Structure 1
Amino acid sequence: MKIKYFCPRWGAEQISWNEFCSMVKNAGYDGVEAGMPINEIEKIQMGDALKQHDLLLVGQYYQSFEKDFTQHSESFKKYLYKLASLNPVLIDSQTGKDYYTAEQNRQLFEMAEVISNETGITIAHETHRNKALFAVRIAKELLIANPEIVITADFSHWCNVSESLLEDHNDAIELAISRAVHIHARVGYSQSAQVSDPRSPQWTTELQTHLNWWDAIVKYRRSEGADLLSISPEFGPFPYMPAIPYTAMPIANQWDINVYMMNLLKQRYPNN
């Protein structure tokens, strides 16, 4: 099984696509994780830069802003088809809402499955706050009720929602691990979805806990004979990254942390 690493566009939007992709390539990533560009010019710039620097794409859907379910469903469908047209390795989808019913979120899962079958692009539903899979217990129920769906494992959100390192949710974690096809390698803790800097000894327990979960995903995917596992180190900018009061200066460097995380995981999971 090959493991490929993707750099988030999140936090580097002010940099041109060509400069960004050059940085990504030089850092040793295999690709970029990004949402759908708003305008055609940027879409062309993104495509040209990815091609020039020989980078893959993980498409990201996050535009779940509409409260009305009908409007939300129409937007969801539109964006998934647009992302699929970019021929990504897969689509990471922040599907649904925490206030939608299980039936409404099920309809969105079914819609994504139809689009995935039509396009041949895997759609992984992210375990993200405010979305359908926002909490570990709720996610367990939805995964059982919707056995066809696969997920982006970002357990940092669940740590934040449950105010724990999920010690009491081993059965749900095991189920989630068996459905994970993409990882957002960010370390969370009981009070936030992002520790200040995973390189700091103060976060040793949190880092090791997340590494144990990621180890289990890698082991499971290999045992299933999967061809690919994609990983995006996804430490974010402010306000995910804490800032020094009054100065708005981030207390650590987002780019450096994500590169550190990629290299740590490359050493931990060598490609055969």
Structure 2
Amino acid sequence: MEIKYFCPRWGSTHLSFDRFLRKVRDAGYDGVEMSFSSEMDQVEKSEMLDGLTHYDLELIGQQWRTTDRNFNTHLYSFEKHLFKLCEGKPLFINSHTGKDYYTQSQNMTLINRAREISKEMGVKIIHETHRGRWSFAAHTTKEYLIKFSEIRLTLDISHWCNVAESLLEDQEEAVAKAIYHTDHIHARVGFQEGPQINDPQAPEWKKVLDTHLCWWDRVIALHRQKGSDFLTITPEFGAPPYLPLLPFTKQPIVDQWDTNIFMMNLLTERWK
């Protein structure tokens, strides 16, 4: 089974898209995970897609822009952004879906609408485990997965550690359920008090890092057992405010790009 690594556009928007893509290619990534802004016109989108082709990079579409509180407005925005991403013919779309305060019925309306758009456009759509969304916590996500077994996930388990203020030692059933439904990994390391440790290379985070590595090992093993052709991973240590800053100077205490390269190399060596 091939493991493909994708670079987040998040944190690199200060670079021109061409400069970003050259940097991504030279770092050894297989592709980019990113969204399209609602203001982007067809010409700009075509130039971006041509750039991906030029540098032989694949695209994972990322839908995170739906934040409306009103459900009907949220649904309209959700549809609009998914259709826009589908036009780019990504490998698949990773969606931040729904709200933690929407009812299960409302969130399932969004999930089912994503399924309809997926069938109509021929693009797979999966849903990220993320704070603020329907999948904000391990225990609530488990209930959805029990009732709606067709849901597929991007596993960003860092959020659940933060929400539960634990490394989920007492929620193994929910973690196992999520791993079974995972088709994409966001390799960010969270801890009991936050969604991102400051530096995965620091020895004080070894236990936390090892816990995440073991979770991801289980995803890899399951897909190998299933005979999957490939599995995708985005090392997604984020830009500020995920990335801690020094007080007063607001200087980052680590380099986001270098941290994600470290994670890609660590995982490549682990699973080679």
How far apart in 1 are the matches of 2:46 and 2:88? Answer: 10
Shift of 1:155: 0.2
Any stretches of 5+ residues in structure 2 without a counterpart?
Answer: none
Q: Secondary structure at the match of 2:237?
A: coil
* Structure 1 match to 2:15: 15
Q: 1:179 aligns with which of 178, 181, 186?
A: 181
Q: Structure 1, residues 89-146: CA drift from partner, whole Å, max 9, x if none?
A: 1111000000000111111111111111222221110000000100111100111121
Misfit runs of 4+, over 4 Å = none
Stretch of structure 1 that moved more, 39-48 or 157-166: 39-48
* Structure 1 match to 2:220: 218
Any stretches of 5+ residues in structure 1 without a counterpart?
Answer: none
* Structure 2 match to 1:269: 271
Q: Secondary structure at the match of 1:125?
A: strand
* Structure 2 match to 1:39: 40
Stretch of structure 1 that moved more, 25-34 or 45-54: 45-54
Q: Secondary structure at the match of 2:160?
A: helix
Stretch of structure 1 that moved more, 200-209 or 113-122: 113-122
CA contact (8 A) 1:17 1:45 kept: no
**1:27-66 equivalences in 2 (<5 Å):** 27-37=27-37, 38-40=39-41, 41-66=43-68
Shift of 1:44: 2.8
How far apart in 1 are the matches of 2:241 and 2:206? Answer: 22
Shift of 1:42: 3.4
CA contact (8 A) 1:97 1:130 kept: yes
How far apart in 2 are the matches of 1:211 and 1:120? Answer: 32
CA RMSD of aligned residues (A): 0.9
Shift of 1:35: 0.6
**1:170-209 equivalences in 2 (<5 Å):** 170-209=172-211
**1:95-174 equivalences in 2 (<5 Å):** 95-174=97-176
Q: 2:94 aligns with which of 88, 92, 96?
A: 92
Shift of 1:74: 1.1
Question: Percent identity, aligned pairs only?
Answer: 49
Q: Secondary structure at the match of 1:238?
A: coil
| Alignment: residue pair count | 270
Stretch of structure 1 that moved more, 110-119 or 144-153: 110-119
How has the CA–CA distance of structure 1 residues 42 and 14 changed in structure 2, closer, same or farther, with 3 Å as cutoff?
farther
Taking structure 1 as the reference length, the TM-score comes to 0.97
Taking structure 2 as the reference length, the TM-score comes to 0.97
How far apart in 2 are the matches of 1:163 and 1:186? Answer: 16
